Amino acid sequence: MPILNQIKKHWDDLSVSKGSSYKTSWDDYYMVQKEIEEVCKHISTGIETICDFGCNNGYCDFEFLHRFPNITMTGIDYAEKAIIQANKTLSESAYKNRCEFVVGDILDIENYPKKKFDTVIVKRTLINLMDDNNQMKAIANLASLIDHGKIIVMEPIETNLYRLNQLRRAFALPDLSQPWHNKYLSDYVLEYIYANFNVKINYNYSSSYYIVSRVLYPWIATHLVNSTVDYLSEINRLAMMFPNVGDYGLQQVFVLTKKA
C-alpha cells in the first residue's frame, strides 16, 4: 500500500479505537493542551469564522468552541472515520449551530469549501504529506480559503529535531527520530513560506516543554531511577507550565497572511 494510503488508514483506525479522545491525534496530552493554548492566543473574542484542516475527531475544535462563543468552525479531514466520530460528538454537544465537520483532502483543492474564512488552522497535518512539494502545495491550497484572514501553521520543524538531538547526546540519550508517518517541515519549506507569505508571527512555544519532557525527564528515568517515561507524568505537567526558554521545541507556530 502506498505510504499516503497507509497514513490515512492509520488515522481512520485510531478514530475507531480511541473515539473522541485526544489520543486519536497524539498521546502527549500536555503538549496537546499547550497547542490549544497557543492557538487560542490567535482567536479573537469577536465574530470569527475558522477552518481547521486536518481536524481529526474535533477534539481541539470543541475546546475552541467552548472558549469562544462567537466563532463558527468548519473542521475538515480526509479520514472519514474521524469525521464520523467528530459529527457524533457534535450531535451530542451544544455547538450544533456553530460547527460542521466534512471530509476533504488538503491536497485536493477542487473539494475545498467555496467560501473564505477569517482564520485557517493547520496543526500537525502537513507533516503527514511526507514530501516538501506536497506540503508547499497544501499551504498554497489553504491560502485559497482566506482573503484578508490568516493561516495558523502549527507544525514540527526538522531543524529543531536536529537541535534537540544534539542536546540529548550531551546527556547520553539516543537520538529521537520522526515517526514513520511524519515528515517535519524542512528549511526548504520554511523558505517557501517566507517567500510567499507575510509571516506575522513565528515563534517556538514548545522549547521548555521539550527540554524537560524529552531530555531532563528521560535522563532522570534512564540514568537515575531506571524507569520509563510516561506522557501523563507530573514532570510533563510541570514542563507545560514553564516559561519558554531556548530553541529546542519541535513544534513551531507561524501566523501567515497573504502578501499584497
Report which residue's Cβ sits closest to ligand SAM.
Answer: 54
Nearer to ligand SAM, 120 or 190 (CB): 120
**Minimum separation from the CB atom of position 41 to ligand SAM (A):** 16
Q: Which is nearer to ligand SAM, 134 or 244 (CB)?
A: 134
**154-171 as b/e, with b when 16 or more CB fall inside 10 Å?**
bbbbbbbbebbbebbeee
Q: Which is nearer to ligand SAM, 137 or 258 (CB)?
A: 137
Beta carbon nearer to ligand SAM, 71 or 79: 79
Let me know: does 205 contact 146? Beta carbons within 8 Å. no
- CB of 26 or CB of 29, closer to ligand SAM: 26
Task: Name the minimum Å distance from CB 24 to ligand SAM.
Answer: 7
Q: With respect to ligand SAM, which residue has the nearer C-beta, 86 or 190?
A: 86
The CB-of-154 to ligand SAM minimum distance in angstroms stands at 7
Minimum Å gap between C-beta 166 and ligand SAM is 25
Where along the sequence are the contacts to ligand SAM (CB under 6 A)?
11, 25-26, 54-56, 59-60, 77-79, 82, 105-107, 123-125, 128
The nearest distance, CB 222 to ligand SAM, in angstroms, is 27
Minimum distance between the CB of residue 245 and ligand SAM, rounded to whole angstroms? 24
Round to whole Å and give the CA distance between 185 and 200: 18
